[in-house]
Amino acid sequence: MNNTEIIAVLNEFLAEKGIYALVLILFFLGLFGMIMCKNYMKKLMAMNIMQVSVIFFFLCLAQKEGGMIPVLAGSVTDSGAYINPLPHALMLTAIVVSLGTTGVALALLIRIKNQYGTVEEDELLRRMEE
């Protein structure tokens, strides 16, 4: 395979599946952050990244080339002409859920900070032992 062929294969991959690969990288980046970060605030931010990546994933499913807004306009009844509105509707709910989770998590973090004076995991574990 010479260079042009490789570039062609790569182009095809990126055009068809590139967005999914990026979304999954984002997902596992979030997961990695939640495991590796020692700071609870950073863990929470990584958690949000993960949730956003799932939302992107759903939105990618709805996407189609040349699709228009799913509003009944005139006589267009061909389903191929519209973007699928269902994933967007679902993700509105998921965004609300993620907002709720983040709110509860922040409230808990404030209480942890008040109780132990830190949100660093190592320090926190040491103070909890005492």
Partner 1 sequence: MRHLPVLIPILPLLSALLCLIFSRIERRLGKYAVLAALAASFFSSVLLLVKVTQSGENIHYYMGGWMPPLGIEFVVDPINAVILAVISVVAFFVCMYSQAFLKESEWLEQGGFYALFALLSAGLLGMTITGDMFNLYVFLEIASISGYGLIALGRGKSVVASFRYLLLGTIAASFYLLSVAYLYAITGTLNMADMSRLLMHQLDTPNVLLAVSMLIVAFGLKMALFPLHGWQPDAYTYAHPAAAPIVAGLMSKAPALALLRYLFSIITVESIYVEIGLKAIGFLGACGIILGSVMANAQKDFRRMLAYSSVAQIGYIAVGLSLGSVYGLIAAVYHMVIHAFMKSLLFMVSGALQYRYGEVSISIDMLGGLNKHMPLTTASFVVAALSMIGIPPTGGFFSKWYLLLASLEKGQFLFIAVIVASSLLNAVYFFRVIENIFISKDAELTSLQKEERLEIPFSMLMPIVLFGIAILAVGLFNSYFVEEIIRLGLPEVLAV
Q: Which residues bind partner 1 (CB under 8 A)?
A: 27, 31, 34, 40, 43-44, 47, 50-51, 54, 57-58, 61, 86-87, 90, 93-94, 97, 100-101, 104-105, 108-109, 111-112, 115-116, 124, 128
Are the CB atoms for 50 and 129 separated by under 8 Å? no
86: left (phi over 0), alpha (psi -120 to 50) or beta: alpha
Closer residue to partner 1, CB minimum distance, 21 or 97? 97
Closer residue to partner 1, CB minimum distance, 5 or 130? 130
**Structure tokens of 26?**
């984002």
What's the full length of the chain, in residues?
130
Shortest Å distance, C-beta 73 to partner 1: 21
In which residue are the tokens 């182009």 written?
A: 11
Closer residue to partner 1, CB minimum distance, 82 or 87? 87
